Structure 1
């Protein structure tokens, strides 16, 4: 999936992609292309996920036991690997979301109420 975004929409902090993938899979198993589309759609097109980032992240999360994958057939009748969140992955999602909220709160405090 390739899309050009303005530079201010820019870079996702390291580890954030993992969090976004885990959160996306809360609703059920999906294959890579659907995960990327969901992240883009849910972020109102502010975040695009390149295949070169997505698939290494999916493999890393699977290696950590946070995702489980199995082969299936996509909506386009193509063979695809479907990823689902494991109990260990759900636990990590909750922990990572808590860390993210603390960090964004702290950054908000530093920036002040007005971002202008």
Structure 2
């Protein structure tokens, strides 16, 4: 196998890894955004009412909402940490794919890279 063939195959592999890492990054970002939207929805104020039964129900809902927000905030923190880790992985794979693309762009049939 020639150097050019190996570089071309390596470039294709790097592009697949880059695409996978970017897809994972997008999936994690969407999940984090969904969780953040759910936290914000639970944080909206509810109007005060005069009816005692409705007031009691609203108080119970407010207590439930506080607990849900705490759980969602923990989930949001974990999702953000995973997103940051994946962002670093995606940046590395983007760099590798770009470097290999530059190498392949400058390749010649003799097996040596052209100087710019």
Q: TM-score range by the shorter chain?
A: 0.3 to 0.5
Structure with the bigger percentage of helix = 2
Structure with the bigger percentage of strand = 1
Normalising by structure 2, we get a TM-score of 0.33
Q: Which has the larger radius of gyration?
A: 2
